[in-house]
């Protein structure tokens, strides 16, 4: 039988004991069907409380360490508080914006540039926003990036805002 590598993405439980039971079920299923899980790339985290000092969970033999950040669909969540880090999305937005501004040049058609920003930059800024539990600072950074894109396109001053 051919070995398949899968990522054990989400296993959720209310307790360490329940989580261990679910990991055992996944491990046994993998053995039965020739699926290999990589426990070295797996982490455990706690949402809504502290990490337990006892009751460690394990996938096969190594214990999973409790992490402070977990990544799901490109979004980084801080454990315990579930706050989302929006900085990677803002960086991708600026990267796409700078590419568009470089290609369109200094004598750009403003409406075409706005359309390109809305089509190519805005999705990278708002990717996964349905899952965000961002603090006001993260929302402010995204808002500043959005305002800066219009300031660059229309060559306006920093005090002018689109929102």
**Band of pLDDT at residue 161, cut at 50, 70 and 90:** low
Q: Are 27 and 6 in contact (CB under 8 A)?
A: no
> Which one, of 134, 163, 137, 132, lies nearest residue 150 by Cα?
163
Give alpha helix (H) positions in the chain. Answer: 16-33, 87-104, 110-116, 122-125, 136-154
> Domain boundary at 40, 67, 94, which?
67
Given this model, what pLDDT does residue 1 score? 41
* Residue with more model confidence, 84 or 118: 118
Of the listed ranges 42-46, 91-95, 118-122, 137-141, the one predicted with least confidence: 42-46
**Residue 124 clears pLDDT 80, i.e. is over it:** yes
Domain-located, residue 78: no
Q: Tell me the whole-structure pTM to 2 decimals.
A: 0.66
Please compute the mean of the pLDDT values over residues 26-51 and round it to a whole number. 80
Distance between CA 58 and CA 64 in Å, rounded?
5
Same domain for 98 and 37: no
Structurally, the chain folds into a number of domains equal to: 2
Nearest of 134, 65, 130, 123 to residue 146 by alpha carbon: 123
Angle (CA) 59 61 62, round 5°: 75
Q: Is residue 29 part of a domain?
A: yes
Same domain, 89 and 147: yes
Residue 132 located in a structural domain? yes
Helix H or strand E encompassing 70: strand 69-72
- Same domain, residue pair 56 and 106: no
Contact 125, 92 (CB under 8 A): yes
Residue 77 counted as domain residue:
no
51 and 9 fall within a common domain: yes
Q: Are residues 108 and 137 in the same domain?
A: yes
pLDDT digits (tens, 9 = 90+) for 84-99: 888 899 999 999 999 9
Which range marks the domain in which residue 95 is found?
85-154
Q: Which residue has the higher pLDDT, 52 or 11?
A: 11
Question: What is the rounded CA–CA span in Å between residue 141 and residue 153?
Answer: 19
Residue 114, pLDDT score: 95
Do 93 and 143 lie in a common domain? yes
Percent of the chain that is helix, strand, coil (3-state, to 5): 45, 10, 40
Identify whether the C-beta of residue 70 lies closer than 8 Å to the C-beta of residue 47. Answer: no
């Amino acid at each position: 039988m051919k070995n398949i590598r899968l990522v054990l993405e989400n296993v959720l439980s209310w307790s360490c004991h329940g989580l261990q039971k679910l990991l055992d079920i996944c491990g046994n299923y993998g053995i039965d069907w020739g699926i290999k899980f990589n426990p070295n790339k797996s982490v455990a985290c706690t949402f809504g409380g502290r990490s337990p000092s006892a009751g460690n969970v394990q996938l096969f033999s190594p214990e999973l360490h409790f992490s402070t950040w977990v990544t799901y669909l490109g979004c980084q969540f801080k454990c315990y508080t579930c706050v989302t880090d929006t900085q990677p999305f803002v960086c991708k937005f600026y990267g796409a914006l700078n590419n568009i501004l470089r290609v369109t040049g200094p004598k750009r058609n403003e409406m075409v540039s706005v359309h390109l920003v809305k089509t190519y930059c805005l999705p990278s800024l708002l990717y996964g926003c349905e899952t965000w539990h961002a603090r006001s600072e993260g929302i402010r950074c995204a808002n500043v990036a959005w305002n800066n894109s219009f300031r660059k396109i229309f060559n306006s001053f920093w005090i002018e805002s689109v929102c």
